[in-house]
Amino acid sequence: MQWNAVRENWPAFVEPIMQRWPQTEEEDLLALEGDRERLSSYLAERHELTPQEADEQITAWLQGAVPADVVMDETRDNEQIHASAAHIGEGEDVYSDDRDFGDADTPERPIGRES
């Protein structure tokens, strides 16, 4: 994950940061507004680390996957909607009924069966 993604979606990353570094406070993190240098200094202070150790921990944290709650955060809805366009086939109408995409070939149920 790139720091730009973290900075642009900072409110969504506050909770995962608090889980990773439990001595942090939500209000303090929100006030950092996604500034990596300020986060590094803050983590060094709160967790008794050197600035270099704090920066190394941030770098290691960035190597992990984006947490699901961050991906699904409502502040990223427009980004997710835009990205979903890559999965719509050429000529496919996003507003068409699903039966236009293969559901019509579903075999009928045997006589006498309800489910």
Helix and strand totals (H; E) in the chain: 7, 0
Q: How many angstroms separate the CA atoms of 37 and 89, rounded?
A: 43
Is pTM beyond 0.95? Reply is no
Query: Which residue in 56, 59, 70 sits closest to 19, CA to CA?
Result: 70
What's residue 91's pLDDT?
78
What's residue 104's pLDDT?
58
The alpha carbon dihedral of 25, 38, 15, 76 has a sign of positive
**Is domain 3-86 classified as CATH 1.10.1470?**
yes
For 36-64, how does the pLDDT look when each residue is reduced to its tens digit (9 = 90+)? 999 999 999 999 999 999 999 999 999 98
For the chain, the structural domain boundaries read: 3-86
Name the token pair of 12: 């969504």
**8 Å CB contact between 45 and 96:** no
Q: How many angstroms separate the CA atoms of 51 and 66, rounded?
A: 24
